[in-house]
Structure 1
Amino acid sequence: MSNLAENREPVRLSVVVPVFNEADNVLPLLDEIERALIPVGGFEVIFVDDQSDDDTQVRLAPAVLAGRLRVLRHNRRSGQSAAVRSGVKAAHGEWVVTLDGDGQNDPADIPALFALVSGGKAGSPMLVGGLRKKRQDSLSKRWASKFANAVRQSFLQDGCTDSGCGLKLFRREAFLDLPFFGAMHRFLPALFRAHGHPVAYVPVNHRPRERGVSKYNNWRRGLIGVVDLLGVYWLKRRTKLSPTSEQL
Structure 2
Amino acid sequence: MNYEFTIIVPVYNEEECLPELFDKLDSYIHSASIKTRVLLVDDGSSDSSARLILDHCNGHDHFSCLIFEKNFGKGAALKAAFDHTNTPILGYLDADLQTYPEDFEKLLPFIDEFDLVTGWRRDRKDTWVKRISSKVGNGVRNVFTRDYMHDTGCPLKILKTTFAQQIPMFKGLQRFLPAMVLLQNGKIKEVEIPHYPRLAGESKYNFRNRFMGPLMDCFAYVWMRKSYINYKVAKRDE
TM-score by length of 1: 0.88
- 2:43 aligns to what? 50
Partner residue of 2:22 out of 16, 26, 30: 30
Specify the alignment match of 1:84 in structure 2.
78
- Check the 8 A contact 1:15/1:97 in 2, yes or no: yes
Taking the aligned partners of 2:55 and 2:144, their CA distance within structure 1 comes to 46
Question: In structure 2, do the counterparts of structure 1 residues 200 and 53 end up closer, same or farther at CA, with 3 Å as the change threshold?
Answer: same
How many equivalent pairs are there? 235
Aligned to 1:154: 143
Structure 1's unaligned 5+ residue stretches are 1-8
Residue correspondence of structure 1 range 192-203 to structure 2 within 5 A: 192-203=181-192
Corresponding residue number in structure 1 for 2:95: 101
**How many angstroms does 1:213 deviate by?**
0.4
SS in 1 for 2:106: helix
- 1:43, 1:93 within 8 Å by CA — same for their partners in 2? no
Cα offset, 1:58, TM superposition: 2.8
Residue number in structure 2 paired with 1:215: 204
Choose the corresponding residue for 1:61, options 43, 54, 59: 54
The one-letter code of the counterpart of 2:82 is V
CA contact (8 A) 1:36 1:111 kept: no
Alignment match, 1:75:
69
Q: Using the alignment, how far apart are the partners of 1:98 and 1:55 within structure 2?
A: 22
- In structure 2, the residue matched to 1:172 is 161
Q: 1-side partners of 2:51 and 2:6: how far apart?
A: 23
Q: Does 1:115 align with 2:104?
A: no
Q: Is the 8 A contact 1:22 1:212 kept in 2?
A: yes
Q: What's the CA shift for 1:141?
A: 0.7
Find the counterpart in structure 2 of residue 4 from structure 1: none
Q: Take 1:17 and 1:185, find their aligned partners in 2: how far apart are those partners?
A: 13
Equivalent position of 1:11 in the other structure: 3
Partner of 1:3: none
Secondary structure of 2:9's partner? strand
Question: What secondary structure is seen at the aligned counterpart in 1 of 2:159?
Answer: strand
Q: Which moved more, 1:136-145 or 1:56-65?
A: 56-65
What RMSD, in angstroms, separates the aligned Cα atoms of the two structures? Answer: 1.8
Paired residue type of 1:93: T
- Give me the TM-score of the superposition, normalised by structure 2: 0.92
Q: CA offsets per residue over residues 57-100 of structure 1, 9 Å max, x none?
A: 23233321212411211111100011111122222311110011
- The 1-side partners of 2:38 and 2:233 are apart by 35
Of stretches 217-226 and 130-139 in structure 1, the one that deviates more from structure 2 is 217-226
CA–CA distance in 2 between the matches of 1:27 and 1:125? 33
Separation (CA, whole Å) in 2 of partners of 1:247 and 1:61: 44
Matches of 1:247 and 1:46, distance apart in 2: 35
| Candidates 213, 230, 243, aligned match of 2:219 | 230
8 Å CA contact 2:106, 2:193 repeated in 1: no
Alpha-carbon contact 1:103-1:209 (below 8 Å) kept: yes
Per-residue deviation at 1:21?
0.6
Distance in 1 separating the partners of 2:210 and 2:137: 10
| Residue identity (%) | 27
Unaligned runs of 5+ in 2: none
Deviation string for 1:110-146 (max 9, x for gaps)?
Answer: 12212212xx4xxx11111111121111001100111
Cα offset for 1:41?
3.7
